[in-house]
């Protein structure tokens, strides 16, 4: 069966410090991978998605970046955090339907609560 891991679960970082959040998926190959942010009481904001190693699409301009060094590893980074980066970060994976036009449902990790102080 497939599982998705995220760490750390919670993080408190000062403004201006760097960030690295990691997400790994087990039990599947060639997944689509996603990073979302959810502000308190708000919906999901798609930050990045990846359809393959080294292939990253950015959805919103910001001081965050993402990388996919391996098929089942997805990393979210920042060189200098801002107060507005606080939120709940969710990683997810999905399989692409044969033919590649659409993808199936997404499976989410447990999330990381980031507080920038």
Partner 1 sequence: AQKVTQAQTEISVVEKEDVTLDCVYETRDTTYYLFWYKQPPSGELVFLIRRNSFDEQNEISGRYSWNFQKSTSSFNFTITASQVVDSAVYFCALNTNAGKSTFGDGTTLTVKP
* Binders of partner 1 in range 84-103 (CB under 8 A): 88, 90, 92, 94, 96-97, 100-103
Q: Are 48 and 61 in contact (CB under 8 A)?
A: no
3-state secondary structure of 89: strand
Strand-pair category, 112-116 with 10-13: parallel
**Residue 73 or residue 103: which is nearer to partner 1 going by CB?**
103
Binding pattern to partner 1, positions 55-84, x when CB under 8 A? --x-x-------------------------
Report which DSSP code applies to 9: S
Of 53, 65, 71, 111, the one binding partner 1 by CB under 8 A: 111
Q: Does 11 engage in binding with partner 1 (CB under 8 A)?
A: no
- Per-residue HEC secondary structure of 39-79 comes to CCCCCEEEEEEEEECCEEEECCCCCEEEEEEECCEEEEEEC
Stretch that binds partner 1, among 15-23, 49-57, 60-68, 70-78 (CB under 8 A): 49-57
Which residues form the interface with partner 1 (CB under 8 A)?
A: 32, 34, 42-44, 46, 49, 51, 57, 59, 88, 90, 92, 94, 96-97, 100-111, 113
């Amino acid at each position: 069966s497939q599982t998705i891991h995220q760490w750390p679960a919670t993080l408190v970082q000062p403004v201006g410090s760097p960030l690295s959040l990691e997400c790994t998926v087990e039990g599947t190959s060639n997944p689509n991978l996603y990073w979302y942010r959810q502000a308190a009481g708000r919906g999901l904001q798609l930050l990045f998605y990846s359809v393959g190693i080294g292939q990253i699409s950015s959805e919103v301009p910001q001081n965050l970046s993402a990388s996919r060094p391996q098929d089942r590893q997805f990393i979210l980074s920042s060189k200098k955090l801002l107060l507005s980066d606080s939120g709940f970060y969710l990683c997810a994976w999905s399989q692409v339907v044969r033919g590649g036009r659409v993808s199936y449902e997404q499976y989410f990790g447990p999330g990381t609560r980031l507080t920038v102080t």
